[in-house]
Amino acid sequence: MSSLLLVELVVNGEPHGVAIAQQRTLLEVLREDLDLTGTKHGCELGECGACTVLMDGEPHLSCLTLAIEAEGREITTVEGLATADGLHPLQNAFAELSAAQCGYCTPGMLLTAKALLDANPAPTLGETKQALSGNLCRCTGYAKILEAVSLAAERMGSRR
């Protein structure tokens, strides 16, 4: 057990101290140590995007990120999207338009879309597709997801 490292991870604004082996991925630590199971795993190889989280606002594949690399970064998971005031506009749009069928890809989709809209509040359809192209969905055919991102962008734009 001498190989365990003490790491402080700031997730959704809250600091968490964990003692972990250095090879453990951010995905494993989020799910198994912090019980933040909203972050999903679909491939363990960085191919599906289901494990996407934000680090300092940028989408990262948590299955390919060591937890120790995430120290000192602001990590956002799906659990951190909603606030006490309610759901994030993307969450509302995904729910209203049924952009989540089985829902397994949804956390990764939402975070990737949030990073997109934060950087580019009014993306074209092509820009949205490009941003989401690393996130696989097997249920929806992506149509409702694209509509939901567009609806959220519209609402967030009109709120500014």
Partner 1 sequence: MTIVEKPRPDAAPVEAEELSVVGKPLPKVDATAKVTGRTRYTDDLRLPRMLTGKLLRSTRPHALIRRLDVSRALALPGVHAVLTGKDLPITYGILPVSQDEHTLALEKVRYVGEPVAAVAAIDEETAERAAGLIEVEYEDLPAAMSIPDALVPDTPRIHGEGSGPNVDRVAALEFGDVEAGFLEAEHLREDLFFFSGNAHMPLEQHSVLASWEAGKLTVWSSTQVPHYLHRTLAKVLELPASRIRVIAAPVGGGFGGKSDPFSHEIAAAKLAIVTNRPVKITLTREEVFYAHRGRHPVLMQVKSGFTADGRITALSFRNILDGGAFGSFGAATTYYTGALQGTTYRLPAYRFEAVRLHTNKPPCGPKRGHGTPQPRFALECHLDKVAEELGLDPVELRLRNAIEPFSQTVNHLRITSCGLIECIEKVVEASGFHDKHGRLPYGRGVGFAVSAYLSGAGLPIYFNDMSQSEVQIKVDRGGGVTVYSMAADIGQGSNSVLTYIVAEVLGIVPEDISVVTADTDLTPIDLGSYSSRVTFMAGNAALDAARKMRDLVVEAAAEKLEVDVAQLTTAGRRVFDCDDPEHGLEWEQAVHVASALRAPLVTAGSYRAPALAGPYRGSGVGPSPAYSFTAAVVELDCDQETGMVAVDQVWVAHDVGRAINPLLAVGQTEGSVYMALGEALLEQQSFRDGLLESTSLFDYKSPTVLEMPEVHTYLIETIDPEGPFGAKEAGQGPLLPVIPAVANALYDAVGVRIDEVPITPDKVLRALDLAAKGKLGRVGPKGMPAFDFPAPYRVEPPGEALP
Question: Least distance from C-beta 42 to partner 1, angstroms?
Answer: 5
Of residues 70 and 145, the one with the C-beta less far from partner 1: 145
Of residues 72 and 117, the one with the C-beta less far from partner 1: 117
Supply the DSSP string of 48-65, one letter for each residue.
Answer: S-TTEEEETTEEEEGGGS
Question: Least distance from C-beta 72 to partner 1, angstroms?
Answer: 24
Residue in the block written with tokens 């929806």: 140
Distance CA 134, CA 115 (A): 13
Rounded to the nearest 5°, which phi and psi values hold at 100?
-110, 110
Residues of the shown chain interacting with partner 1 in the complex, contacts defined by CB under 8 A: 31, 35-45, 47-48, 50, 77-79, 81-82, 87, 90-92, 94-98, 100-107, 110, 129-130, 132-146
Question: Least distance from C-beta 97 to partner 1, angstroms?
Answer: 7
| Rg value, the chain, Cα | 16
Question: Least distance from C-beta 17 to partner 1, angstroms?
Answer: 20
Supply the DSSP string of 96-119, one letter for each residue.
Answer: HTT--SS-SSHHHHHHHHHHHHHH
